[in-house]
């Protein structure tokens, strides 16, 4: 049996394009005498469709697309993910399903049993879990067909009370197919491979695994579909961060002649770089936009954001606006200008001093002679925000937000100012990682001016300002934030790790009291296990550690 894995970049709710890509892959398979083409979880709708699933029309369009795809399956079979209606009165209205298509029609439908309801996942909000398990019979083989999380209930602390593969093994299947939508984070590749290898080790069956690729707003899917032989060796691994289509001979996978085939492992920062570039590109493409705008300050965050955007969209499509104030250093302007020239991107210099002074003049009678403080600092940031949004509106650009995760965590940013944007590129990247990204970008030539990387970080909103005036050194801050946000450690646990109590208490308080700011930020491209946004749901009006 020849099996093809089709790793595709889907677009949520774009039934015509999704169906076209699926049908093109089926036709390609026919030309190569493939017996079965496998597509990923909720391929027809795109993943995650979220509350679109509450519209009957949306699900009916998915059903129509499945029927259209089934019409192509003559002399070839396909497995396609789609929501399906639950005919029972009791329970949720829908299943998350895998359709087995052959002879021009739907032959069988197999439902997902384990519905993740943690972090970014909320599938139990929409779907009824499966309780009946049957294999697919095709060309004399029994296929243990399951969906993503169905293979993840292993280890010492299983999250669910059943294991779908244990049930399917009662029919003595010949191999496993798992269709998935497994979002990217920097260490997901190894974790995913380890779970799949554990399944092969337990069941001693070959495994064909198909993942999504591409970005769906903040969620990034890295692809990396896998084929594993029954001895637990990786037979092949599809490309990362791009569409791919590969054909495998089941006999060769079941009885391999060679050992493990693994691609060279990229480092963490390279993965984050590639994921962010893909995330920007897909966000613009799927929304129908081509051009980005950002404020280029001469600092490292805006510099890294601009390079990533230039690589995603083309440098000619990234417009930088330099907006110096009376507190901006001369070298910051020079560094920003040098970067724009290095990239050959368009840029303009629009000083904000007159705007800033106009606001101060208007507010002077109402400030009651109080001394300079954060109010005047924020006026500068908001003046810049007004300029950027005006240009965005006038020319149809999407404004890229340049704040990093460290700043977002402790509220070191101005609402309606430097927190503006249609997309947050670095909102899940700690400041120390931003420096690593800058070094990675410059690994072959100096694109980001060296001075941008070396100079102490500063918002330049008051004389001689440095981030370290208000925050611990980023080397310390980021470690504390990581333990609290990603690892969910409490203050006593973090202090026990050797961090100063005063710094820990201050940092965690800053994180919690600034939750209201993060509720108003643009979508953040997710590259960690725990990103701000849909995967981290915290109350605003709370007293814990605040």
pLDDT tens-digit profile, the chain (546 residues): 999 999 999 999 999 999 999 999 999 999 999 999 999 999 999 999 999 999 999 999 999 999 999 999 999 999 999 999 999 999 999 999 999 999 999 999 999 999 999 999 999 999 999 999 999 999 999 999 999 999 999 988 889 999 999 999 999 999 999 999 999 999 999 999 999 999 999 999 999 999 999 999 999 999 999 999 999 999 999 999 999 999 999 999 998 876 555 555 668 999 999 999 999 999 999 999 999 999 999 999 999 999 999 999 999 999 999 999 888 777 889 999 999 999 999 999 999 999 999 999 999 999 999 999 999 999 999 999 999 999 999 999 999 999 999 999 999 999 999 999 999 999 999 999 999 999 999 999 999 999 999 988 887 777 877 777 778 999 999 999 999 999 999 999 999 999 999 999 999 999 999 999 999 999 999 999 999 999 999 999 999 998
Residue 276 has which token pair?
Answer: 């962010």
Determine whether 112 is an active site residue: yes
Query: Which pLDDT value is given to residue 299?
Result: 95
The pairing of strands 292-295 and 318-322 is parallel
Catalytic residue among 2, 21, 72, 112: 112
Query: Which pLDDT value is given to residue 265?
Result: 61
288: which residues sit within 8 A by CB, 6+ positions away?
none
Q: Which residues in the chain are classed under CATH 3.60.110.10? A: 2-262
Determine whether 509 is an active site residue: no
Determine whether 148 is an active site residue: yes
Q: How many CB atoms lie within 10 A of CB 446?
A: 11
End-to-end CA distance of the chain: 61
78: which residues sit within 8 A by CB, 6+ positions away?
22, 26, 36, 37, 38, 39, 69, 70, 72, 99, 100, 101, 102
What torsion, rounded to 10 degrees, do the Cα atoms 82, 83, 85, 91 define? 140
430: which residues sit within 8 A by CB, 6+ positions away?
404, 405, 406, 474, 478, 481, 482
Catalytic residue among 62, 73, 135, 148: 148
DSSP string over 479-492: HHHHHHHTS---HH
377 vs 379: CA distance, rounded Å: 6
Residue range 270-467, CATH number: 3.40.50.620
The pairing of strands 136-138 and 141-147 is antiparallel
Answer whether 389's CB lies under 8 Å from 416's CB: no
Catalytic residue among 2, 21, 41, 407: 41
Answer whether 73's CB lies under 8 Å from 104's CB: yes
85: which residues sit within 8 A by CB, 6+ positions away?
59, 63, 93, 94, 95
Query: Which pLDDT value is given to residue 470?
Result: 79
Residue found by looking up tokens 């800058």 in the block:
438
Answer whether 177's CB lies under 8 Å from 208's CB: yes
Phi then psi dihedrals of residue 425, to 5 deg: -80, -45
Residue range 2-262, CATH number: 3.60.110.10
Residue 22 has which token pair?
Answer: 């699926």
Residue found by looking up tokens 């611990």 in the block:
472
41 vs 367: CA distance, rounded Å: 57
Query: Which pLDDT value is given to residue 210?
Result: 98
Q: What is the DSSP letter of 533?
A: B
Q: Which residues in the chain are classed under CATH 3.40.50.620? A: 270-467
With 0-12 CB in 10 A as exposed, 13-18 as middle and 19+ as buried, what is 70?
Answer: buried
DSSP string over 52-78: GGG-HHHHHHHHHHHHHHHTT-SSSEE
């Amino acid at each position: 049996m020849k099996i093809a894995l089709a790793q595709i970049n889907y677009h949520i709710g774009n039934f015509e394009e999704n169906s076209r890509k699926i049908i093109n892959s089926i036709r390609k398979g026919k030309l190569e005498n493939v017996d079965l083409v496998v597509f990923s979880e909720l391929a027809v709708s795109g993943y995650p469709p979220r509350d679109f699933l509450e519209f009957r029309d949306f699900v009916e369009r998915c059903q129509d697309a499945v029927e259209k795809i089934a019409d192509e399956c003559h002399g070839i079979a396909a497995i396609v993910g789609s929501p399906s209606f639950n005919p029972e009165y009791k329970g949720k209205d829908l299943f998350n399903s895998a359709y087995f298509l052959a002879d021009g029609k739907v032959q069988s439908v197999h439902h997902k049993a384990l519905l993740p309801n943690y972090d970014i996942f909320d599938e139990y909000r929409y779907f009824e879990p499966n309780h009946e398990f049957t294999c697919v019979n095709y060309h004399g083989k029994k296929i243990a067909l399951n969906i993503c999380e169905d293979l993840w209930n292993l280890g010492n602390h299983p999250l669910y009370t059943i294991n779908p593969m244990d049930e399917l093994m009662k029919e003595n299947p010949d191999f496993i197919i798992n269709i998935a939508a497994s979002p990217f984070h920097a260490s997901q590749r190894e974790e995913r491979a380890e779970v799949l290898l554990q399944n092969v080790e337990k069941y001693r069956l070959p495994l064909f695994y198909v993942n999504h690729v591409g970005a769906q707003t903040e969620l990034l899917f890295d692809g990396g579909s896998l084929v594993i032989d029954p001895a637990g060796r990786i037979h092949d691994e599809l490309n990362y961060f791009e569409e791919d289509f590969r054909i495998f001979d089941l006999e060769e996978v079941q009885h391999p002649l060679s050992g493990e085939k693994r691609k060279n492992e990229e480092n963490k920062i390279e993965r984050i770089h590639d994921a962010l570039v893909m995330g920007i590109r897909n966000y613009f493409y799927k929304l129908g936009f081509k051009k980005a705008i950002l404020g280029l300050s001469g600092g490292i965050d805006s510099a890294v954001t601009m390079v990533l955007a230039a690589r995603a969209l083309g440098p000619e499509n990234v417009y930088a606006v330099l907006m110096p104030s009376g507190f901006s250093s001369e070298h910051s302007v020079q560094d920003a200008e040098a970067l724009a020239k290095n990239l050959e991107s368009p840029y303009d210099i629009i000083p904000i001093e007159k705007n800033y002074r106009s606001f101060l003049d208007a507010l002077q009678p109402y400030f009651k002679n109080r001394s300079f403080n954060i109010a005047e600092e924020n006026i500068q940031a908001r003046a810049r925000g007004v300029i950027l949004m005006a240009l965005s509106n006038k020319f149809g650009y999407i404004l890229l937000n340049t704040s990093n995760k460290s700043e977002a965590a402790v509220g070191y940013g101005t609402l309606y100012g430097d927190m503006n944007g249609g997309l947050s590129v670095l909102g899940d990247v700690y400041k120390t990682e931003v420096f690593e990204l800058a070094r990675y970008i410059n690994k072959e030539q100096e694109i980001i001016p060296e001075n941008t990387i070396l100079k102490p970080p500063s918002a330049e909103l008051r004389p001689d300002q440095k981030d370290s005036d208000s925050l611990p050194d980023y080397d310390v801050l980021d470690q504390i934030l990581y333990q609290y946000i990603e690892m969910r450690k409490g203050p006593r646990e973090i202090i026990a790790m050797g961090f100063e109590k005063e710094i820990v208490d201050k940092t965690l308080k800053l994180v919690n009291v600034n939750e209201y700011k993060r509720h108003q930020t643009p979508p953040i491209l997710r590259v960690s296990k725990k990103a701000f946004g849909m995967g981290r749901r915290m109350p605003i009006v709370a007293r814990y550690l605040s």
